[in-house]
Amino acid sequence: MLYLIEDATPEPAQFGALPALFARTLDAELRCAGVHFDEQQFPDAHQHVTADGRLVASGLIWRTRMGLPDAAEPCHEIFALARTRDIVLLVQSFDAFPTQCAEDVEMLRVVHGADSAQLVEDGSGVVLQAHRDRYGRWRSTEQAASRASGPSITISLIGRECDQHQQYPATLAALGDAADALGFDLEVRFIAPQEIDRDNAETLLADAHGILLPDGADVARAAGQIEAARFSWLASIPVVGLSLGMQSMATAIARLALKSDEISMMLAHPAAGLASVDPIHVGEDGVLLHRLGLRPITLAPRSRIAAILGAQANILCNHRYRLNPALEAPLATLGVTVSAHDESGSIADAIEADKHPFFVGMQGHPERSSRDGAPHPLLMRFCKRRRAVHNLIRTHRKRARTPFDVK
């Protein structure tokens, strides 16, 4: 049977959530046809990456989180395939897919509310209902909300709340997975990177138990992330960086190590005196190498990231820029080392500092590998390494005597 589902939501983060729940109940394959969102309005609309290296709509993270395979785009034989097994075909509009010659096609559509949605079939009513929890995760209405019994913690997520809820849901959902597994009552404090500078970073971030620097396609976010990373370093606040977040961490430490604010990411500031992040490779045609999909990484023995991920690890990648290898030595003078590389050894896939409470960045996307009941171990360890509030004043008083306070 072919189930054709129209999901006309304008928000990329919600797209495909109910069809994914529906496909899981049927044990069916979920495919998507002709999806497109305005990337001027939603820069992170198409930032989910499949294991085989396809960049797709960010809402298709729900397909992955439901444990469904990352099926390819529909083929011309989809009607024949649907005669042998159940297939859910997701479209933004019924007009995008011809059904006039189809047999045994059941047509449904998603009706969205504020934090709820229904899957309906004309003439048959509601087929499925679901709600969105405070971490943006979609669940059927029969599933009870989790109850935290452990300590309350506050994580400052350096990103706008609307961006996490409207266009890129993976990071917030992954934090919720980690909090549930640990039994923590997690408050996520959203801080727009555009609002952070060196003068106000302490005011905005000092009382956080941890700081998370997410990925994002809009490099205008980098300046605020860099200042947040700098402050977390000097104040010894646990921090984790994901892709762009790792690049921001490396840039902040490079500026401290070399005592220069003229160091910046090439993509954000092409005329910077020294690039902290440069292209992976530029071919003869001038096109950057785009590293996509699930890739193996080589972990440094006895590193923190090796202890977290185990002897062998793979990460989901989606990037065209890498840490400038010339900065590895300056970073090491402050105790920040590269703890994972790609297969070639030329791309830094993780950085860390063993003398900091928690300072770990990954070039890949652990947030996209998180699931309900199976959080990513990096985010689990990050939440565990939260800083106690009563230590804040003592930490700030001791800053001048710590090896991290580099003027």
Question: What domains does the chain contain, in order, with CATH numbers?
Answer: 2-140 (no CATH), 152-401 (3.40.50.880)
Cα-Cα-Cα-Cα torsion 127, 168, 192, 251, nearest 10 degrees, comes to 160
Q: Tell me, what's the pLDDT at 146?
A: 56
Rounded Cα distance between 245 and 233, Å, is 14
- How many Cβ atoms sit within 10 Å of the Cβ of residue 25? 11
Mean pLDDT of 217-240: 96
C-beta separation of 29 from 87 below 8 A: yes
Span 268-321, pLDDT tens digits: 888 888 999 999 887 777 677 899 999 999 999 999 999 999 866 899 999 999
* 30 or 313, greater pLDDT: 30
Q: Taking all residues of the chain, what is their mean pLDDT, rounded to a whole number?
A: 89
β-sheet bridge partners, residue 313: 297
